[in-house]
Chain A
Amino acid sequence: MVHLRYFASLREQLGTGEEQVELPSNITDISGLTRWLQTREEPWKSALADSRLHVAINQEIVRPDAPVTDGDEVAWFPPVTGG
């Protein structure tokens, strides 16, 4: 299982903040996982198509080619606006 999390405007667009999913065996990296989530019905496809989204694995920002493994916590979120 992987723990998926969505924050801020993305969380609102998707209507969910987190979920546990079984990682399909053919998915090895972030871009593969994002594409797989986009095969769900809208709004998944368009919401996750935003190129400004950041992705973190186990609470560290990563690039789209970063490997995903079972047990990871993966988060998608828009650019940060704190401070």
Chain B
Amino acid sequence: MIRVQTGDFDVGAELEQLRRDNNGRAGAMVSFTGLVRDINAGDSVSEMTLEHYPGMTEKALEKIEQQANTRWELTASLIIHRVGALQPDDNIVLVIAASKHRKQAFQACEFMIDTLKTEAPFWKKETLPEGTRWVEPGQCR
């Protein structure tokens, strides 16, 4: 399942829901949570705004989840991505992969977040003390 939303998500509640959805078939669940950092490229960040391409975003996330389910034998999967104005320490993205064994779950989770970062149409804009700037790919450090 995929969701794009402005509101926050509860990582624990999402993991618990997916655990129930597995109906006992999964032996492993791996999750990745992406957060807003308070510093990027040496500058302090007070706010981060996530822009996206409504419609295409959902299609891209569905495709990524589908690819993961084709490559690995998953019992359940989930991608949630937030959009709009976020503050440091806020959740941005949650990816969960559940499988019979841990290796498949680890690999599928990594694939989904890595692919999302290069293919899903989201753009980050940071608010710094000097003003705003668009995040460049690979700039985060």
Q: Is the CB of A7 within 8 A of B121?
A: yes
Q: Is the CB of A82 within 8 A of B116?
A: yes
Interface membership of chain B positions 64-92, coded 1 if the CB is closer than 8 angstroms to chain A and 0 otherwise: 00000000000000000100000000001
- CB contacts between A and B, total, < 8 Å: 67
- Chain B stretch 101-141: residues in CB contact (< 8 A) with chain A: 113, 116-125, 134-137
Measured CB to CB, the closest approach of chain A to B38, in angstroms, equals 18
Which residue of B has the minimal Cβ distance to A59? B56
CA distance A60 to B136 in the complex (A): 22
Residue A75 lies at the interface, judged by CB distance under 8 Å to chain B? yes
For chain B, give the interface size range. 20 to 34
For chain A, give the interface size range. 10 to 19
Cβ contact of A83, chosen from B34, B59, B125, B136, cutoff 8 A: B34
Contacts A9-B134, A59-B56, A75-B56; A83 near B121 (Cβ below 8 A): no
Contacts A80-B117, A82-B81, A83-B117; A59 near B53 (Cβ below 8 A): yes
The chain A residues found within 8 Å of chain B, CB to CB, are 5, 7-9, 56, 59-61, 75, 77-83
The chain B residues found within 8 Å of chain A, CB to CB, are 34, 50-53, 55-56, 59, 81, 92-93, 113, 116-125, 134-137
7 extra interchain contacts, Cβ-Cβ under 8 A, other than A7-B51, A83-B92? Answer: A5-B53, A8-B51, A75-B53, A81-B135, A81-B137, A82-B123, A83-B120
